[in-house]
Amino acid sequence: MGIRYEKDGRVARVTLDRPHVLNAMNRAMHAELAEVWDDFEADDDLWVAVLTGAGERAFSVGQDLKELAARQVDGTAGRSSFGSRGKPGWPRLTERFDLVKPVVAAVRGYAYGGGFELAMACDLVIASDDAVFALPETRLGLIAGAGGVFRLVRQAPFRVALGHLLTGRPMTAVRAYELGLINEVVAAEELDACVDGWVADLLRAAPLAVRAAKEAATKSVTMPLPEAFAAEYEWEQRRMLSRDALEGPAAFAEKREPRWEGR
């Protein structure tokens, strides 16, 4: 088993658990992860997920290249380009475009290749000061096909992003923070506490409002503003008609903490 999946109250804790290979992701892990994300999405009791890597050396170094090389030798690898359709674990987190529950990445050590792509697919990224990010695929005759070539140019300035994509040069956590790729950088020993603080803040917010905000932000980001205002958002409709939409103002008026139901 390469994945640990734990339910901690409202929080799903997902750990990439192959520290002996720096949490490189093989086909079996991707298949496990698909089941995890399916369960997280379907479980109404879970409101937030935290994704991390086991050990102190790596979040994940991406694809298990030894497995890929072996499959190339025996002729089972086939050709691949963008996305995971037809591969184990589809749709992977990098392509779960309709997942509205928030996912927080806790990154320590190497976040290379598919590991960096996973982090960019999360909603919040918290990193330790020893974290390092890179998309080194071009150095291996490959391409960052799990969304790296698309997300990096959207999440960082285009020319800076292109420089990293074309050369595979790594960046420090501080540099990633300066580029707006991550939310916070802390000392390694403070990472868990910092992530827990962000999770607590997410859980203080109304879950349907969080999902509505995520959906509207991600779907509208490339729209002109008039189109964004006029578009329809499924989760905003759910929020608007929910009991929680009444509970928030009532709790404020009554000077008490709101009791969110997620409905």
137 is catalytic: yes
Dihedral sign for Cα atoms in the order 206, 211, 216, 218: positive
Tokens standing for residue 113: 């290749």
117 is catalytic: yes
Q: Name the active-site residue from 6, 35, 56, 137.
A: 137
Q: Name the active-site residue from 117, 184, 215, 257.
A: 117
113: left (phi over 0), alpha (psi -120 to 50) or beta: left
Catalytic site positions: 117, 137
